[in-house]
């Protein structure tokens, strides 16, 4: 799994703000502004985490989430961002880690990212430790 966070969001200013905040905390980012831009990224490698807006110019962020799951990236945490109240049933069904309604404080997003990536790292580290002792 890549250690890069994929941001799928059509608001360029928000993408810049999120990328800058993640970068200063040591996270790598990649971004896409449409479903069409995001899909090729998902077929090349699984991101460490997906931040996805639901209302995109060429489709739904749910399409990106479904494509991520279909690409075999079952372990990738997903944080949904939306100005409209997202479908919580669908978020649960697609195993999204968190749903944030816009506008949200940047610190809230950063806490969610850190929490879900640390969980992923501790799961991975634990698995490696077990493999090393076998």
The domain spans of the chain are 4-129
Which residues make beta-bridge pairs with 100?
81
pLDDT digits (tens, 9 = 90+) for 36-94: 999 999 888 899 999 999 999 999 999 999 999 999 998 999 999 999 887 889 999 99
Does CATH place domain 4-129 in 3.40.50.300?
A: no
pLDDT digits (tens, 9 = 90+) for 79-117: 999 998 878 899 999 999 999 999 999 999 999 999 999
User: What angle do the packed helices 35-44 and 61-70 form, to 10 degrees?
Assistant: 10
Q: Say what the pTM is.
A: 0.86
Check: CB of residue 20 under 8 Å from CB of residue 47.
no
């Amino acid at each position: 799994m890549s250690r890069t966070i994929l941001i799928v969001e059509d608001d360029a200013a928000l993408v810049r703000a999120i990328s800058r905040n993640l970068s200063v905390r040591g996270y790598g980012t990649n971004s896409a502004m449409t479903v069409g831009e995001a899909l090729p990224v998902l077929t090349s490698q699984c991101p460490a985490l997906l931040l996805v807006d639901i209302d995109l110019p060429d489709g739904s962020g749910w399409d990106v989430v479904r494509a991520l799951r279909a690409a075999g990236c079952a372990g990738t945490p997903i944080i949904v961002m939306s100005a409209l109240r997202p479908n919580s049933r669908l978020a649960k069904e697609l195993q999204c880690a968190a749903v944030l309604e816009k506008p949200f404080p940047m610190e809230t997003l950063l806490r969610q990212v850190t929490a879900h990536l640390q969980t992923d790292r501790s799961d991975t580290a634990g698995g490696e430790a077990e493999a090393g002792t076998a």
